[in-house]
A and B are shown apart, each in its own frame.
Chain A
Amino acid sequence: SFDLTQPPSVSVSPGQTATITCAGYNLGDKFACWYQQKPGQSPVLVIYQDNKRPSGIPERFSGSNSGNTATLTISGTQTVDEAVYYCQAWDSTSVFGGGTKLTVL
């Protein structure tokens, strides 16, 4: 299997752009997904196949994946976006990153 590494925390001011990274060996050769989890709630898929948004996910969420790093970008971050974000990739088994707490203040 493989490991995915995320920064424990990221802070951003409302209206600014938040960037959360996910590092893994040759991650760019796999499809990366991102999940948002708010306290007491189940995770929600916000990005799949590196850069696709499921129905209902705001356009301000975008993703990219190349080399050893996948990136989740939230443009015009809102206070409702405050949550823990997990990256995930599948390569015969599924692996999650450790999660990044996004603080909007």
Chain B
Amino acid sequence: QVQLQESGPGLVNPSETLSLTCTVSGGSVSSYYWSWIRQSPGKGLEWIGYIFSSGYTNYNPSLKSRVTMSVDASKTQFSLKLTSVTAADSAIYYCARDRVGTNYGGMDVWGQGTTVTVSS
């Protein structure tokens, strides 16, 4: 059974870069899309973007200029970088397996989430 675990700093200084990693256990990153989603305190879900195992990416237009995703199949990990962060980027960040395709199947496996606070 595939499980996901987010990791990374819980505190990031304003204007710096937020970096998170999602480790996939019980399966491979190959042939799947992997998404990052965030949830600001008391708010709803916001899709940040996804990466395919080949490295193909697709980002939320509202964040595109600040987001970079990468994948390391050998380590069964994929990563998120968000630059020039502000307090508005403080949120719980989730990684999820995303069944992207003509017959879109939703995000069927989620990590437990990691809380990131942007503050000096």
Contacts and interface: CB of A to CB of B under 8 A. Distances in A.
Interface of A: 1, 30-31, 33, 35, 42-45, 47-49, 54, 86, 88-90, 92-99
B58 A42 contact: no
Contacts of B9: none
Contact of A48 (B108, B111, B112): B108
Q: Rank and list the top 4 A-B pairs by shortest CB-CB distance, nearest first.
A: A33-B106, A48-B106, A94-B47, A42-B110
A48 B58 contact: no
Contact of B110 (A43, A48, A93, A96): A43
Interface of B: 35, 37, 44-47, 50, 58, 60-61, 94, 98-100, 103-108, 110-113
A11 to B, nearest CB: 19
Given A42-B94, A42-B113, A90-B100, A96 B46 contact: yes
Given A96-B44, A97-B44, A1 B61 contact: yes
Given A42-B110, A42-B112, A49 B61 contact: no
A92 B58 contact: yes
Given A30-B104, A42-B113, A43-B110, A48 B99 contact: yes
